[in-house]
Amino acid sequence: IDYTGTEPSSPCNKCLNVSWDSTTPCTCTINFTLEHSFESNVFMYYGLSNFYQNHRRYVKSRDDSQLNGDNSSLFNPSKECDPYRINEDKPIAPCGAIANSMFNDTLELFRIDNDTKTPITLIKKGIAWWTDKNVKFRNPTGDGNNLTALFQGTTKPVNWPKPVYMLDSEPDNNGFINEDFIVWMRTAALPTFRKLYRLIERKNNLQPTLQAGKYSLHITYNYPVHSFDGRKRMILSTISWMGGKNPFLGIAYITVGSICFFLGVVLLIIHHKYGNRNTSADIPN
């Protein structure tokens, strides 16, 4: 579901020119229909296009020691974070361009049945890699577990509406270990990508996870993409016993295999044409 809002008829067109520092959030709703039921667990992704997370300076603009909870790096971030290292004479936590550009739209899903909207339960935990959640990302340490006190003396990234210790109300999903933040910090290799946003778990084996029918996507539109001709979309996907649907690996295998086959044929022809020549270094009489 594309909800960028570039089309005048789109419900999200009114939010197209939203800015980073908008004080009043813009909301819009898109209705859609699922033609087929989703039987197993469903994965909700957000997708971005024309967003180059693979730029060299962008990829380097972070401080892994700070993200790992090192207190000295918290107040003295790496120079790789410039120009998002210091703001108003305070160190930025988390510093860097990756964190500063974190995706912050809010997506809610509802099922429409006889003009009645029923919210779909979206699970926000379990979306990040286990190694990222438990090894690479840690909150600062100190007396007590009060994140407000631990981050005292730092400031939020320039484009964030609130500091890192207010990303979530649950202590095990707040600060640097917030899973939405962790997912965003794993940069994408291509300019068109998607990242896991929420999980929809199957409740029982008698009913599909998402039945075929009418649904409504409610969007709190905070993330501007129109200035760089970007696109935003919401993707619902499921998996089979073979995993998720991802054509990239298959295309890569076919491409590399075709190149190897072509080179093999060329080398075979060269071998048959020139391989039987006399290679002796003796000078004939």
Query: How much is the average pLDDT of 77-85?
Result: 93
CA dist., res. 76 & res. 93, Å (int): 10
* pLDDT tens, residue by residue, 145-194: 788 889 999 999 999 999 999 999 998 999 999 999 999 999 999 999 99
Q: Check residue 139 and give its pLDDT.
A: 92
Look at residues 156, 30, 45, 35 and name the one whose alpha carbon lies nearest to residue 92. Answer: 156
Look at residues 10, 23, 19 and name the one whose alpha carbon lies nearest to residue 224. Answer: 19
Band the pLDDT of 136: cuts 50, 70, 90: very high
- 180 contacts: CB under 8 Å, gap ≥ 6: 102, 103, 124, 127, 167, 197
For 240-245, the CB contacts below 8 A with 24+ separation are 240/40, 244/43
Q: Could you identify the residue written with the tokens 């994140």? A: 147
| Identity of the amino acid at 27 | T
* pLDDT tens, residue by residue, 42-54: 999 999 999 999 9
Q: Give the whole-number percent of the chain exceeding pLDDT 70.
A: 94
Q: Could you identify the residue written with the tokens 């860097």? A: 96
Q: How many CB atoms lie within 10 A of CB 208?
A: 18
Query: How much is the average pLDDT of 68-83?
Result: 92
* pLDDT tens, residue by residue, 236-285: 998 766 666 677 888 999 999 999 999 999 999 998 888 766 555 555 55
Q: Check residue 22 and give its pLDDT.
A: 78
**The pLDDT of residue 233 is above 90:** yes
Band the pLDDT of 39: cuts 50, 70, 90: confident
Minimum mean pLDDT among 71-75, 125-129, 230-234, 270-274: which range? 270-274
| Identity of the amino acid at 170 | E
Phi/psi of residue 164, nearest 5 degrees: -65, -30
Contact 185, 177 (CB under 8 A): no
Q: Check residue 281 and give its pLDDT.
A: 56
Q: Check residue 242 and give its pLDDT.
A: 65
Look at residues 266, 203, 215, 219 and name the one whose alpha carbon lies nearest to residue 111. Answer: 215
Strands (E) in the chain, as ranges, are: 26-34, 42-49, 86-87, 90-91, 106-113, 116-119, 193-200, 213-221, 231-240, 243-244
Look at residues 31, 202, 12, 165 and name the one whose alpha carbon lies nearest to residue 4. Answer: 12
- Cis amide bond preceding 94, omega within 30: yes
- SS3 assignment, position 75: helix
Per-residue DSSP letter, 224:
-
Q: Check residue 280 and give its pLDDT.
A: 58
| Strand-by-strand arrangement of the 116-119 sheet | 26-34, 213-221, 106-113, 116-119
Q: Could you tell me the two tokens for 275?
A: 């391989």
CA dist., res. 194 & res. 88, Å (int): 34
Q: How many CB atoms lie within 10 A of CB 166?
A: 16
- Cis amide bond preceding 83, omega within 30: yes
